[in-house]
Structure 1
Amino acid sequence: MLRLMLLRHAKSDWGDPSQDDIDRPLNARGRAAAHTMAAYFAAQDLLPDLILCSSAQRTRETLAHLLPFLDGEYEIRVQADLYYQNENTYVPILRKEGGTARTLLLIGHNPATEETALSLAGSGPEDAIEDMGMKFPTGALAILDFELETWAKLSPESGHLDRFVKPRDLEIPDE
């Protein structure tokens, strides 16, 4: 069985209009949400074997908040193609880059994060799928499980949505 965790980067800062989009950092709300989601990863023992992260500043900062909460061994690949993707889905990247990972975390952007989750979710709690389709907010996490042996076999509706979690639905942990 394969597990895919799709995490949209936390809220970014739009305060400097001259700043290139790829260089936008997280804002205060985004840093708090990233911390909340990191604590959720730890509390739920969500441990990836492989982390694929967009090269954008806001995704790398989201990842930086997660790292202190992740135990075990994992590989991290920061990839520009997750930022510059030409399609509205990450499926081709997952098929190509998944390798031997059993649990893969992808930290990316919308619309690709939402479209990937929706296209792969063939089953799961209807209310969670509907919620995910209405809005996949910054910092949100979709977890999908697949009865597949290899990422190369990912296909539409081949996954089961285990859960869809938004930072605002979680209790913010104390520092």
Structure 2
Amino acid sequence: MRNLLRTALIVSAAGAAATIAVVSAQGAENSAVDEPPSLAEDYTYPGAAQILATDHVQLISGDGHIVYAACPTGPDTVGLLQISTSERVGPRQNGKVCFHVLGSGGQLSLKLPGVYSIRGDGLSTGQGHKVKAALTTDAGQHTTVDVPPDGTTQVGIAGTPAGDPTTLLELNATT
């Protein structure tokens, strides 16, 4: 009788352990399925692949406050940063690329070769954003230039003195 009781207890304990293991495994499996996707932002530029394919502008990442925009056909670029490059880029393939700064400032990482001019987004004194532009040459010489809110900064081959061709790597705008 004693052995029978001991065997019953062992069988019951083993069955309970197996049940707990199965329930635990199902719970882990269900929680993995039931959990929503991560809300962590990776700052990848939305639509970057399409912009690269059509306009030959490589937009990498940003905070969403500097956005790619169509350049106006006339000289009025109020509210837009205008980048001039010797490459056939942009919607018209004319070497002009524009960006709109939303709000008080923003950050954008990109790769835009052949840049020789960066124009601020204000047309008169006191308007526009202060911009810092990070550039590099093919030789790996990195520079950062200040772009006045209402003016133009010449870089690379258009700089004084004329330098090597530059690739624009980053734009940082503030008020």
TM-score (structure 2 length as normaliser):
0.26
- RCO greater where, 1 or 2, for CA within 8 Å and sep 6 or more? 1
> Which structure has the highest helix share of the two?
1
Larger Rg: 2
> Which structure has the highest strand share of the two?
2
